[in-house]
Structure formats: C-alpha cells, structure tokens
Amino acid sequence: MMNIDKFIIGFDSALRTLLTSAQTVRPVPGGELPEAALTDVEKRLSCALMRVNHVGEVCAQALYQGQGLTARNEAVQQTLLQAAREETEHLAWTERRIAELGGRKSVLNPLWYGGSFAIGMFAGMLGDKWNLGFLAETEHQVGEHLSSHLQRLPDNDGRSRAIVKQMEIDEASHATMALSHGGVELPFPVKVTMKLGSKVMTQTAYWI
C-alpha cells in the first residue's frame, strides 16, 4: 500500500476512534445479565475503572495503527491491522458500559491517542521482531492490569466484570499471536518504562 493511503486510513481510524461510537460483531459479554443495584460509591468506582479500560482500548487502537503503519513485513502489517479491528470490540464494550453506568469517557482521549500512535510508529520503525515483542509485552501488561481490575470492581457488578474477563482472554491471545509471529522479549528497562508510562495513564484516566 502507498504511504499516503496508509496515512489516510490511519487518520480515518483516529477520527473514528475519537469521534464515533465503536461497533461490535460479538455480543457484549455479560449483556444478558441483569443490571445490579449498585450504591453510588460502587457505581463511581465501576465508572472510573471502565473509563481507565476504555482509555486503554483507545491507546490499543492508536498503538496498533501506528505499529501497522511502520511495520516492514506486509503479513505483520495485516496481522496488526486485524488485531486493531478486534480491539475495536473492546472499545465498543467499555464505551457502552460507561454509558450504562451514567459515566463519561476521558476528556484526554485525543492526547492518549496521539501519544500512543507515536509510540506505535516508533516501535514499528525498530523492526518487526521488536515491534511484535512490544505488542506482546503491552498485551501482557494489559492482562495484569485487567486482572487487578477484577479484584477491584464491585463483586455484584457482573456486567462490567464479564466485559473485563473477556478482554483479559482476548489480550492474552493477542500476546500469543505476536510471539508466534516472531516477537522477542524486550529488555528489562524498556518493560519498566512501559509500566511507568501506563501507570501515569491509568491513574490520570481514573479521574479525568
């Protein structure tokens, strides 16, 4: 694909992520469960955690698009773009859940998208094995973060918990996919830097 075409597709994807409602092919996990009677405190907690997860999915969209743009190998590019489409479902699920809880999305989403897109492009420029290694490590860290949310979400908020559980399964499969395509383990300092970066994002998105 010509570079200009890729940039137009990337720009279109950014606008879709930030300005429109994401669509899902799979049914929303937990959609069949009744809405629990949550206290105000529980509702605020669920809202904040689902906002953090939504921001994570905005970042995933941007990372995958950035990585797909600069990936060297056509097969790797297609794999990344396919994964980005799957992440769109997570975006849709978290967005819907936030609305059900009467919450709002992060006002900083354009900033998260821009920063993640730049990081994704940089990872792609380093070559496919590092690009895929970065993806696998990202998914691994997201998985840890989601399992921490399963500890923190109110026990009776089955609808939020079902979404987070399915996302945890999907992210693990994305990590496996990246490794099976040749991703390598990242150096320890890079992993630590990624953890610090995501901590800033998750702690900010909890509030705004």
Which two structure tokens, joined as six digits, stand for 45?
Answer: 């907690």
Instruction: Tell me the closest approach of the beta carbon of residue 120 to Fe ion, in angstroms.
Output: 13
The span from the CA of 41 to the CA of 63, in Å, is 33
Structure tokens belonging to residue 29: 């996990």
Of these, 54, 97, 174, 181, which contacts Fe ion (CB under 5 A)?
A: 174
Q: Does 159 bind Fe ion (CB under 5 A)?
A: no
**Cβ nearer to Fe ion, comparing 24 with 36:** 24
Q: Which stretch binds Fe ion (CB under 5 A): 11-19, 25-33, 38-46, 167-175?
A: 167-175
- Judged by CB under 5 A, which of 68, 119, 171, 179 binds Fe ion? 171
Q: Name 27's Cβ contacts closer than 8 Å, sequence gap at least 6.
A: none
d(CA 56, CA 199): 11
Which of residues 8 and 150 has its CB atom nearest to Fe ion in the complex? Answer: 150
Closest CA to 45 of 149, 153, 148, 144: 153
Our CB check for Fe ion shows the closer of 121 and 175 to be 175
Tell which positions 85-104 bind Fe ion, by CB under 5 A: 87, 90
In the range 138-157, which residues lie near Fe ion by CB under 5 A?
Answer: 139
Residue identified by tokens 């049914």 is 27
Between residues 159 and 174, which has the closer beta carbon with respect to Fe ion?
174
Residues 6+ apart with CB under 8 A from 21: 92, 95
**Residue linked to tokens 């992210």:** 171
Ranges within 18-47 binding Fe ion (CB under 5 A): none
Q: Which residues bind Fe ion (CB under 5 A)?
A: 60, 87, 90, 139, 171, 174
